Each structure stands twice: as structure tokens, then as C-alpha cells.
Amino acid sequence: MSIRFEDPFHGIIYSEKGFPNCIYVNASILSQTSYTIKVPLDGCETAYNTDGHLENAIVIQESSSRVSESDKKYLLTCIPASTTVRQDVSQLCGKYRCPARSRRRLTGFLLTQNW
């Protein structure tokens, strides 16, 4: 996930329930205007919601030492666009060379502000 700021960011970005073990950005060490973070699907309190989608609440805290009203929390939700499909296409190919299997995997993400 990519996050961009208009000005250099000086705070921290973390999983709300995974704090302090799941801090993705500590800008008190390196202040930048953009970051790319990877929220694990297995760990850092990522969990299934009632719809069967994976969720994790991500907090963008403006200061590395204190919580303020300007901090934001976003609910990162992983929604599969389709399931993994495996299809034997060898009979469809006839005399042409084709792979024995065709695989397709699509996923989508929804990021909503939670505060």
C-alpha cells in the first residue's frame, strides 16, 4: 500500500491492534513524503470480518510520541475479486501447444476511513 503526504511526515503508521509490534513507518527516524508499506495477511492482528474478508485497522499518527485529534484510522479490507480458478484446457487446444493448466487469481482492496 502506498501512502503520500503533502509535507514530510514525522509520525508513525501502525496496525491498531498490533501496536507496538506492527509499526510500518517510524518517521522520527526517516521523514519522507511517501511510503510503501506491506500489511501482512497472516499476522499483525489481520483478521476475517463477518463477510469473510480480511481486515486490519491502520493508524496514521502525526506524532511519534502522542495521540492527537488530527490522527487518522483507516480500515484496510482485502476483498477477493474472484477465487483461484484452475481449468484443464488441454482438450480445448487440439493440435496446438497449450499449458496443461490455466490459473487466474484476482484480488482487490478497499480502504475506508474508520474515524
CA 97 vs CA 86, 88, 91, 93, 94: distances in Å: 18, 13, 11, 7, 8
pTM of the model: 0.69
Predicted local distance difference test score (pLDDT) of residue 93: 46
Low-confidence ranges of the chain (pLDDT < 70): 82-115
Q: Which pLDDT belongs to residue 83?
A: 56
pLDDT value at residue 84: 53
- CB contact set of 5 (below 8 Å; sequence gap of 6+): 33, 34
